[in-house]
Amino acid sequence: MFDTKIAIVLRNDLPSWQALNVTAFLTSGIVAQHPEVIGEPYRDRAGNVYNPLSIQPVIILAADQATLSTIHRRSLERDIKTCLYIEEMFATGHDAANRAVFAEFAPDDARVVGMAMRADKKLVDKITKGAKMHP
């Protein structure tokens, strides 16, 4: 049904609260880059209106640090724009601090805990190879 795939890959050793937090942040990045994935508002039978949701499913994967680093490298090699969350961002309290700590790292020393992408289905599958469905 969709030519593209949205995938979020999380480091497999994150506590639940961190995995959920990172997923929320990464999802917002996908929506910012691809606003067309948001559908129309929802309305219930009583006429209440709710916020629109993504029109496309999101797959959540898990990987160890080495596999996540490989996935990060593959995305850069294929010039796929991704959303990235690094471990040091857990110690910050706001967006400006997140961006400041993020800027201190390069791809070869970033401790990635999560990343998200939306691209051609086959390309996303190739990039995320080695990751498993999140438990």
Tens of pLDDT, residue by residue over 59-98, are 999 999 999 999 999 999 999 999 999 999 999 989 999 9
Class of domain 4-133: alpha beta
φ, ψ dihedrals at 31, nearest 5°: -65, -40
The secondary element (H helix, E strand) that includes residue 58 is: strand 58-63
pTM to 2 decimals?
0.94
pLDDT value at 100 more than 90: yes
Record the tokens describing residue 68, joined without a space.
């996540």
By CB atoms closer than 10 A (0-12, 13-18, 19+), residue 135 is exposed
**Tokens found for residue 135:** 């438990």
Mean pLDDT of the chain: 97
Question: What pLDDT does 71 receive?
Answer: 98
Query: Hey, is 120 helix, strand or coil?
Result: strand
